[in-house]
Chain A
Amino acid sequence: MFSGAALGAGVLIVVVLFAVAMFLVIQALPTFSAAPADITGGKGFTSYIFPIVIGTLIAAAIALVIATPIGIAVALFISHYAPRGMARGLGYVVDLLAAIPSVIYGAWGATFLASQLKAPYQWLAENMGWIPIFGGPASGTGKTILTAGIVLAVMVLPIIASLAREIFLQAPMLHQEAALALGATRWEMIRMAVLPFARGGIISAVMLGLGRALGETMAVALVLSSGPLIASLIRSGNQTIAAEIALNFPEAFGLRLNELIAAGLVLFLITLLVNMVARWIISRHKEFSGAN
């Protein structure tokens, strides 16, 4: 009975995945056979999709660079530093962050965060403009890919923090006590007994966060002032696949619709690839993880 239900659940996820993939492929096909001039931009699908693929990766990378260290630090604080009562309350709050709809994050990013970041961007452009990613002139509205990345970071933070927390809590108590008994400080104990054990789990947590960052639609669509691919993170420009689809889908028909679905297929493949790489990293690290 139970094994049947488990098998059913396992099969169902594969069927859903397969059905989605088939839908994407079939609907995307006309795009690949269309004349390059008919594709948006007039230069074929590759040159249409390339900038928004890079934009998607930039936004997700910014989100992870910010959210990963903070998420792990928050998780460590909750699992190993905070007093018990506080840890529980803090854990709830972090989990609650994950329950806020993305459109709220988007509205917050577009109306509040973007206008707060105008002045810092101006400063960056003036003082560090020689670094290409801070090249000026800074955006007048603050609605840049960096702002979008920061909003995404806030959105993936609870995912990373709560997963990492669960994993830290599962680190073997005996190892931790042994480390402390040998005279290690708390930080040394965490480095020796907790982090090695949790490495695979942390990577999984980050990958789950990355999945959210790659696929996030509304928040980016609302926050980002999109444009062509540019290196500067503080000028308006760049675009992500998910936001491109969300913005253009309502009025799209004919080939444009196929084009957007093809963009969705590309995003699907990127996510699949990212997950496979993550699995490979985890499997490489498992023998050193200390869990066995």
Chain B
Amino acid sequence: MKALHIGRMAAVLTVGALALTACGTDNAVTPGNGGTSAAAGASVSGTLTGTGATSISAAMDAWKAGFESANSGSTIQYSPEGSGAGRKALIAGAVQFAGSDAYMKDAELADAKAKCGPDGAINVPWYISPIAVAFNVPGVKDLKLDAATVAKIFRGDIKNWNDAAIKAANPSATLPDLAITPVHRSDNSGTTENFTDYLAQAAKSVWTDAKSGDWPSALPGENAKGTSGVVKTVTETAGAVTYADDSAVTDVLGKAELKVGDAYVPVTAEAAAKAVDAAKVVGGRSANDLSLKLDRTTTAAGAYPAVLVSYGVFCAHYPDAKTVDLVKAFGNFAVSDAGQKAAADAAKSAPLSAALAAKAKASIDSITVAAK
């Protein structure tokens, strides 16, 4: 009889435990030292709420710290719930700004008119992060690869590091007879979306999948959770290769130089910023919208095309002056030299170039109070 009781209890406990099981997946964030002075002159106060991309969490913490210390009485709340969720929340009017790894689609801009007024929303680039192709090949630190080779490696078409295609571009490297293990992200991510976009544009004939935040599931290869997961896996596996935010790649791993035009470009913050400068603003949108169409096939000298651009998405108009002041002050702080430096220190992002920062500032300054 007793056993039965215990059994019954165990069954109830099982269900209870399952009902209550919850797991936190928050990434640890590095608090930034922040800038010291706000870009805007007068101090503003109030609470600004935003949500969106997880990629900018570390930068956002730095901006938040810098902005709040310069504007006592102001509070920035940002919940990193994902780019899609952020854009949706802005459209629904639940937040005052969104962070997004992709600019709003035309349909979303149209939807945004309901809450943001007839001019809808504007996308302003505020965070640039180069994506490194990182590899763990004993004895090899530098590799030169063109987009087609990178695509073939990640598709499993090139299976060994001593493949002729890799050798041809790296005649001086001693490439071992070692199987290639491509490692990709197991979670949906902006890094994957931008990297697959690079491959789809720059290696059209090889990379036949469309760009996507989820890695194409039909491809072979291993995966791991998050940027830290892929980097750790590659560090422990000889012959492994992955793509990851440059800031997260440790010195133990080698980073590939990507072929742009006829030259090979190493991954640096400046080269990433240059690639973003070469991008064209998406046409057919409001003059203040800075949605960038990245040209991954660019041949601009010294540009590194595998780069992630994250946008701040704001309404073109807000109903009251206080919100407008707050949004402008915060947006301007984020794209200012101090803000970009704070982000670079905290997240090792690539600062916006002076020209792009000026354009971003002009866009943010165009935000006004809605006409009654």
Contacts and interface: CB of A to CB of B under 8 A. Distances in A.
Nearest to B85: A253
Nearest to A210: B14
A16 B19 contact: yes
B232 A275 contact: no
A141 B11 contact: no
Contact of A217 (B2, B13, B23, B183): B23
Contact of B15 (A102, A114, A275): A275
Interface stretch (B165-173, B199-207, B216-224): B216-224
B229 interface: yes
Interface string A102-137: 110000001100110010000000000000000000
Nearest to B54: A250
B15 A200 contact: no
A170 interface: yes
B241 to A, nearest CB: 11
Interface residues of A, number: 64
A279 interface: yes
Interface string B212-240: 01100110011111000100110011011
A212 interface: yes
Contact of A143 (B179, B224, B239): B224
A208 B13 contact: yes
A111 B186 CA distance: 16
B10 interface: yes
Contacts of B213: 251
Given A17-B15, A271-B14, A286 B3 contact: yes
Nearest to B6: A201
Given A17-B15, A226-B223, A167 B3 contact: yes
Given A211-B14, A279-B11, A286-B4, A247 B217 contact: no
Contacts, number: 165
B222 A141 contact: yes
A150 B268 CA distance: 41
A246 B19 contact: no
Contacts of A289: 3
B186 A275 contact: no
B88 interface: yes
Contacts of A221: 186, 225
A251 B10 contact: no
B360 to A, nearest CB: 25
Nearest to A281: B7
Given A140-B239, A141-B240, A248-B188, A204 B222 contact: no
Contact of A218 (B3, B25, B85, B186): B25
A251 B233 CA distance: 22
Interface stretch (B76-84, B126-134, B137-145): B76-84
Contacts of B232: 110-111
B29 interface: no
Given A225-B222, A253-B84, A282-B3, A218 B16 contact: no
Contacts of A246: 23, 25
A224 B213 CA distance: 19
B287 interface: no
B82 A252 contact: yes
B12 interface: yes
B236 to A, nearest CB: 5
Contact of B25 (A118, A205, A250, A271): A250
Nearest to A203: B7
B189 interface: yes
B11 A275 contact: yes
A198 to B, nearest CB: 7
Contacts of B88: 253-254
Interface string B45-66: 0000000001000000000000
Interface string A7-26: 00000010011001000000
Interface in A186-232: 197-201, 203-205, 207-208, 211-212, 215, 217-218, 221-222, 224-228
A167 B7 CA distance: 11
Identify the interface centre among B18, B218, B237: most chain A CB within 10 Å of its CB.
B18
A292 B88 CA distance: 61
B223 A248 contact: no
A203 B278 CA distance: 65
A2 B286 CA distance: 68
Contact of B236 (A115, A203, A217): A115
A252 B188 CA distance: 8
A236 B240 CA distance: 14
A247 B187 contact: yes
A225 B181 CA distance: 12
A41 interface: yes
Contacts of B164: none
Given A212-B17, A252-B188, A253-B84, A282 B7 contact: yes
A170 B2 contact: yes
Contacts of B80: 250
B42 interface: no
16 contacts: A40-B214, A115-B237, A139-B222, A167-B3, A203-B7, A204-B10, A204-B11, A218-B25, A224-B186, A225-B183, A236-B223, A248-B187, A250-B80, A275-B11, A282-B7, A289-B3
The 7 closest A-B pairs by CB, nearest first: A200-B3, A204-B10, A140-B181, A251-B82, A253-B84, A211-B14, A225-B222
Given A140-B237, A217-B21, A250-B80, 19 more contacts: A17-B15, A17-B16, A17-B19, A118-B237, A139-B222, A140-B179, A141-B233, A208-B13, A208-B17, A228-B218, A250-B82, A251-B83, A251-B85, A268-B18, A271-B14, A271-B18, A279-B8, A283-B4, A286-B3
Interface of A: 13, 16-17, 20, 40-41, 102-103, 110-111, 114-115, 118, 139-141, 143, 163, 167, 170, 197-201, 203-205, 207-208, 211-212, 215, 217-218, 221-222, 224-228, 236, 246-254, 268, 271-272, 275, 278-279, 282-283, 286, 289, 291-292
